[in-house]
Amino acid sequence: MRTIGHWIDGEPVDGTSGQYGPVYNPATGEQSARVALASAREVDRAVAAAGEAYRSWRHVSLARRTAILFRYRELLDAHRDELAALITAEHGKVRSDALGEVARGMEIVELACGITEKLKGELSTQVSQRVDVASIRQPLGVVAGITPFNFPAMVPMWMFPLAIACGNAFVLKPSEKDPSAARRLAELAAEAGLPDGVLNVVNGDRAAVDRLLEHPEVAAVSFVGSTPIARRIHLKAVEHGKRVQALGGAKNHMLVLPDADLDHAADSAVNAAYGSAGERCMAVSVVVAVGGIGDELVKRIAERAGRLRIGPGDDPASEMGPLITAEHRDTVASYVHGAREQGAEVVVDGTGYTVEGYEKGFFTGVSLLDKVTPEMDAYRDEIFGPVLCVVRAGTYDEAMELVNSSPWGNGAAIFTRDGGAARRFQMEVEAGMVGVNVPIPVPVGHHSFGGWKDSLFGDHHVYGNDGVHFYTRGKVVTTRWPDPADSGGIDLGFPGNH
| CA dist., res. 335 & res. 321, Å (int) | 19
Length of the chain: 498
Handedness of CA 93, 97, 98, 102 (dihedral sign): negative
> What DSSP letter does each residue of 417-448 carry, written as one string?
S-HHHHHHHHHH---SEEEES-SS-PPPTTS-
- Using CB atoms within 10 Å of the CB of residue 363, give its burial: 0 to 12 exposed, 13 to 18 middle, 19+ buried: buried
Question: Could you tell me if 399 and 291 are in contact, meaning their C-beta atoms sit under 8 angstroms apart?
Answer: no
Question: Could you tell me if 470 and 222 are in contact, meaning their C-beta atoms sit under 8 angstroms apart?
Answer: yes
| CA dist., res. 22 & res. 237, Å (int) | 28
**Cα 67 to chain center, whole Å?**
26
Handedness of CA 312, 35, 331, 266 (dihedral sign): negative
- Using CB atoms within 10 Å of the CB of residue 490, give its burial: 0 to 12 exposed, 13 to 18 middle, 19+ buried: exposed
DSSP letter at 149? S
Q: Which residues make Cβ contacts (< 8 Å) with residue 102, sequence separation at least 6?
A: 76, 80, 83, 84, 87, 153, 154
**What separation, in Å, do the N-terminal and C-terminal C-alpha atoms of the chain show?**
74
- Buried b / exposed e over 37-74, threshold 16 CB at 10 Å, is bbbbebbbbbbbbbbebbeebeeeeeeebbebbebbbe
Task: Say what angle helices 396-404 and 419-428 make with each other, to 10 degrees.
Answer: 30
Q: Cα 154–212–67 angle (5° rounding)?
A: 45
Q: Are strands 387-393 and 3-4 parallel, antiparallel or unpaired?
A: unpaired
Identified catalytic residue from 113, 166, 281, 389: 281
| CA dist., res. 428 & res. 409, Å (int) | 12
Question: Could you tell me if 227 and 211 are in contact, meaning their C-beta atoms sit under 8 angstroms apart?
Answer: no
Query: Is-catalytic flag, 281?
Result: yes
- Which residues are marked as active site? 281
